[in-house]
């Protein structure tokens, strides 16, 4: 963030100074909500958590170097105190916040105000371009590709992982300072108005909409409602801005009518301004293609896995072109960009020859379909096909469509000829996935329903062999990454060597 005095911060957030000996003391570092990450010159954000209340760590944060604390009540050390408003609640749910009295919402609102003030001053100075990315799937992968293609043009700030809600979004925005040229942000939503609220925190001049799928269908109720909410990003763009829209998704393409900004369409469709052709996949499902732009055409070979990454790369290329990058630089950056965020198409081959595709961070029907296709591509590459395993858990937040969507994934696994499907869980959605596979034609033990992660690990340890390819994917609430981490860790190797 830009340097600000405690008095200035209090004015921005509508707070009151408490126990502050010097109102002109300056915050020269970052804003942190984890007291263990505090350094000299930082501002500590006191949030009430489910297991601990950040206010209780205020003194420790100041002792560690924090200039002051942004809090909902006096804490006995220098603090900017904001008062909860009656009925104030966060725009979306944040698992970190335990907000029975509105104090968490008050601190989050203050954080948003501080981020907005910092970003507005940086953009007014002419040095910062804010890029927002939304979509039902692919936001984090695209964010990482954007950071890679924009880096040759100047310093980039982008969120680690999926910091894309009302806590992570302003926290990331406050990472930008006078040296930052590009601020790349993800915008997520669990209901109407959420993306508009995030866009107000760090107003973007470039907006990217990837797709409209079924993620969070339970909260929204329909794809139309999802599309309406995703389009809030392009509605927030100024007339001088740029909307990058997926021409291959009709609901995204239709958003062109909802923005004042210039529109650039990307995809494989004939009307796309930035287009991919001659798409081919290598043995690890990494896509190569020809990138066509108004500035010319060039070959690109992606280092990230999955054909779905082509659309993400096209969006990144469109943004980079608009920001002044030349075609050769874009192609080189896209080809060199590797996976950054954890548990997203993380492909590793173990010492005993098993290829593990850890895509376990989260899951929705669209991302599971893409991952299954990548799994099959990898298993069939080369002269000798390899055995494919899909270890899948529940996809959360699908509402009334949950059983239908899980059934469809089970059926797709059979249609794609995945050799072994392990469905983890005892709930109705998991049972529907397994039953869908059985009804589609799975026989014997091609599809197996196991009760928990431990049972899945035991089955894999007993039956997975060298050369097999194993995909692990589920919603993050399932915690299925434990399976992937077991397969790639020392535990499985020692068991295999012991013949267990």
Cα–Cα nearest to 461, from 413, 496, 421, 426: 496
Report the Cα–Cα distance between both ends of the chain, in Å, rounded. 54
List, as residue ranges, the binding site for ATP.
Answer: 135-141
Instruction: Dump strand ranges (E) for 223-273.
Output: 242-246, 262-267
- Distance from C-alpha of 88 to C-alpha of 96, rounded to nearest angstrom: 17
| Residues 447 and 437: beta-carbon distance below 8 Å | yes
What 3-state DSSP class applies to 129?
Answer: strand
Q: What DSSP character marks residue 53?
A: B
- Distance from C-alpha of 32 to C-alpha of 454, rounded to nearest angstrom: 36
- Distance from C-alpha of 269 to C-alpha of 249, rounded to nearest angstrom: 10
Tell me the Ramachandran region of residue 471: left when phi exceeds 0, alpha when psi lies from -120 to 50, beta otherwise: beta
Report residue 498 as tokens: 């012991």
Q: For the chain, what is the radius of gyration of the CA atoms?
A: 24
Cα–Cα nearest to 497, from 353, 391, 348: 353
Report residue 465 as tokens: 């062999």
Tell me the Ramachandran region of residue 189: left when phi exceeds 0, alpha when psi lies from -120 to 50, beta otherwise: beta
- Distance from C-alpha of 71 to C-alpha of 48, rounded to nearest angstrom: 10
Report residue 314 as tokens: 């096209």
3-state secondary structure 85-121: CCCCCCCCCCCCCCCCCCHHHHHHHHHHHHHHHHHHH
List, as residue ranges, the binding site.
Answer: 135-141
Cα–Cα nearest to 484, from 355, 316, 334: 355
């Amino acid at each position: 963030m830009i340097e600000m005095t405690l008095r200035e911060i209090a004015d921005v957030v509508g707070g009151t100074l408490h126990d502050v000996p010097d109102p002109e003391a300056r915050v020269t570092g970052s804003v942190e909500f984890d007291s263990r990450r505090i350094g000299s010159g930082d501002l500590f954000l006191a949030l009430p958590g489910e297991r601990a209340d950040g206010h209780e760590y205020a003194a420790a944060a100041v002792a560690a170097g924090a200039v002051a604390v942004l809090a909902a009540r006096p804490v006995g050390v220098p603090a900017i105190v904001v008062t909860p408003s009656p009925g104030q609640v966060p725009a979306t749910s944040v698992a970190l916040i335990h907000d029975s009295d509105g104090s968490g919402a008050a601190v989050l609102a203050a954080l948003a105000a501080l981020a907005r003030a910092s970003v507005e001053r940086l953009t007014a100075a002419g040095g910062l371009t804010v890029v927002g990315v939304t979509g039902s799937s692919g936001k984090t992968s695209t964010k990482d590709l954007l950071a890679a293609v924009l880096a040759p043009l100047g310093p980039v700030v982008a969120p680690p992982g999926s910091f894309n809600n009302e806590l992570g979004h302003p926290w990331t925005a406050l990472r930008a300072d006078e040296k930052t040229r590009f601020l790349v942000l993800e915008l997520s939503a669990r209901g109407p108005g959420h993306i508009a609220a995030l866009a107000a925190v760090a107003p973007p001049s470039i907006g990217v909409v990837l797709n409209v799928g079924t993620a969070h269908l339970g909260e929204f109720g329909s794809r139309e409602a999802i599309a309406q909410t995703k389009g809030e990003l392009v509605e927030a763009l100024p007339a001088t801005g740029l909307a990058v829209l997926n021409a291959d998704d009709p609901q995204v393409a239709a958003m062109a009518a909802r923005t004042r900004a210039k529109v650039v369409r990307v995809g494989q469709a004939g009307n796309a301004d930035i287009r991919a052709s001659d798409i081919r996949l290598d043995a690890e499902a990494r896509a190569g293609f020809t990138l066509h732009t108004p500035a010319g055409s060039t070959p690109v070979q992606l280092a990230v896995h999955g054909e779905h990454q082509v659309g993400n790369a096209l969006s990144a290329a469109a943004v980079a072109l608009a920001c002044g990058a030349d075609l050769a630089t874009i192609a080189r950056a896209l080809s060199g960009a590797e996976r950054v965020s954890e548990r997203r198409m993380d492909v590793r081959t173990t010492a005993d020859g098993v290829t593990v595709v850890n895509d376990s961070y989260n899951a929705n029907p669209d991302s599971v379909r893409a991952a299954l296709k990548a799994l099959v591509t990898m298993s069939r590459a080369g002269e000798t096909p390899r055995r494919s395993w899909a270890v899948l858990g529940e996809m959360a937040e699908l509402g009334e469509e949950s059983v239908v969507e899980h059934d469809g994934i089970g059926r797709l696994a059979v249609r794609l000829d995945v050799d072994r499907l392990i469905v983890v869980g005892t709930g109705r959605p998991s049972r529907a996935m397994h039953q869908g596979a059985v009804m589609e034609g799975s026989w014997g033990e091609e599809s197996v329903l196991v009760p928990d992660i431990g049972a899945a690990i035991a089955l894999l340890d007993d039956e997975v062999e060298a050369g097999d390819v194993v995909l692990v994917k589920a919603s993050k609430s399932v915690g299925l990454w434990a399976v992937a981490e077991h397969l790639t860790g020392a535990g499985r190797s020692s068991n295999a060597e012991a013949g267990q």
